[in-house]
Amino acid sequence: MPSYNYGGQALIEGVMMRGRDAIAVALRHPDGGIVFATERLDSGFHGTRWSKWPLIRGLVVLYETLVVGTRWLVRSANVQAEEEGVELGKGSIILMLTLTLAAGIGIFFLLPLLVASVTTANVENGFVQHLVEGLVRVAIFLGYLVLIGRAPDIRRVFQYHGAEHMTIHALEAGDPLTVDEVRKYPTAHQRCGTEFLVVVILLSIIAFSLVGRQTPVVMVVSRILLIPVIAAVGYEILRFGARHRANPVMKVLLYPGLLVQMITTKRPTDDMIEVAIVSMEEALEADGATAPSGSEAFERRPMRLGPTEATTEATTGAAPGIAATPTGSTAPTDPPPGS
């Protein structure tokens, strides 16, 4: 059982694992090999004691998901386009995040408020408006996931999402990180970001009902200002639930999140599990830890990301402390799903 709760994120043809002090990324390169990279998280604000405080730590993780996660999501797409040397500048990333946040707040918070305000204008009970607002938010959220999940490329991301969860399950059980051992586990996990979003939606119904019916300006501003508060509380609930999985009350509260993961996670192929295992092994290595005894050591090579390194023709090698052995697999050849 690891001393730290490892988390992760699915990327384009890859997985990012977040450890105690660093993240590790592993991607399936178009040539069939696995490339990897690590990035430290123990400098700057990440390394301060305040970043570990309750409520604050949830905002730190949210920042890492938005900024670090977006940066590596773009890099993973560049690798598939064989444009690894193309780096987004800080200005480009800030612009992208700003537009993404604005669209997310508008679609998932302000649009439900508008719909609920119009449809319940003649209802005196304010809680009805907040309930309708919450239901509209859930409908938009689920509809969005189902819609994007129909795209073949996004379905593959959902498969890597499943591989990430299964690998974390195996690590937490102390099993060797092998394809056969990892495949035994479910694709859903109690600390998933999808479950976090479900908790946030449920908390928003409660929080916004406390604000009550106010002027349109106050209601709009309250939705925006309460987002970090709701996110911080939601993260703590998710951590508590993960530590008390056997508690019947927590099982009921977190069960909707597990159901939603039926949409956002899919059973991966063996080569996807290999990538997730490499990412986890590199994250453990970056933290000064070791993978469970008997773990497979798949062939890998460092990812080149510098602006003058437009190719990834690096010498094949394993991560420090891990012997390289052939994976025996090639680039994914399974046809994309029809739906």
- Residues 309-333 have a mean pLDDT of 34
pLDDT at 13: 95
pLDDT at 326: 32
Dump pLDDT digits (tens) for 195-227. 787 788 788 878 877 777 778 888 888 888 888
pLDDT at 318: 36
On the question of pLDDT at 187 being above 80, the answer is: yes
pLDDT at 89: 56
- Residues 100-115 have a mean pLDDT of 83
Q: Is 121 exposed, middle or buried (0-12, 13-18, 19+ CB in 10 A)?
A: exposed
- Residues 281-294 have a mean pLDDT of 94
Neighbours of 235 (CB within 10 A): 23
- Residues 102-130 have a mean pLDDT of 81
Grade residue 332 by pLDDT with cuts at 50, 70 and 90.
Answer: very low
Backbone angles phi, psi at 155, to 5 degrees: -60, -40
On the question of pLDDT at 108 being above 60, the answer is: yes
- The answer to whether the beta carbons of residues 85 and 304 sit under 8 Å apart is yes
On the question of pLDDT at 50 being above 60, the answer is: yes
Among 127-141, 162-176, 262-276, the least confident range: 127-141
Q: Which two tokens stand for residue 184?
A: 């035994």
Residues 6+ apart with CB under 8 A from 329: 32, 270, 271, 274
| Cα separation, 231 vs 255, whole angstroms | 19
On the question of pLDDT at 305 being above 70, the answer is: no
Q: Could you say which DSSP state residue 308 is in?
A: T
Q: pTM of this prediction?
A: 0.77
pLDDT at 315: 34
pLDDT at 87: 54
Average pLDDT of the chain?
80
Element holding 35 (H helix, E strand): strand 34-40
On the question of pLDDT at 129 being above 90, the answer is: no
Dump pLDDT digits (tens) for 5-42. 898 999 999 999 998 889 999 999 999 999 999 998 86
pLDDT at 157: 95
Collapsing DSSP states into helix, strand and coil, what is residue 34?
A: strand
| Cα separation, 109 vs 136, whole angstroms | 10
- The answer to whether the beta carbons of residues 187 and 165 sit under 8 Å apart is yes
Share of the chain above pLDDT 90, in %: 33
Among 46-50, 61-65, 120-124, 239-243, the least confident range: 46-50
- Residues 291-317 have a mean pLDDT of 68
CA 70, 200, 162: angle at the middle one, nearest 5?
55
Among 70-84, 91-105, 178-192, 304-318, the least confident range: 304-318
Residue 329's alpha-carbon distances to 55, 269, 272, 308, 314, in angstroms, are 43, 11, 10, 30, 19
On the question of pLDDT at 316 being above 60, the answer is: no
pLDDT at 325: 31
Query: Of the candidates 24, 20, 15, 108, which has an alpha carbon nearest to the alpha carbon of residue 60?
Result: 20
pLDDT at 134: 83
pLDDT at 165: 96
pLDDT at 97: 67
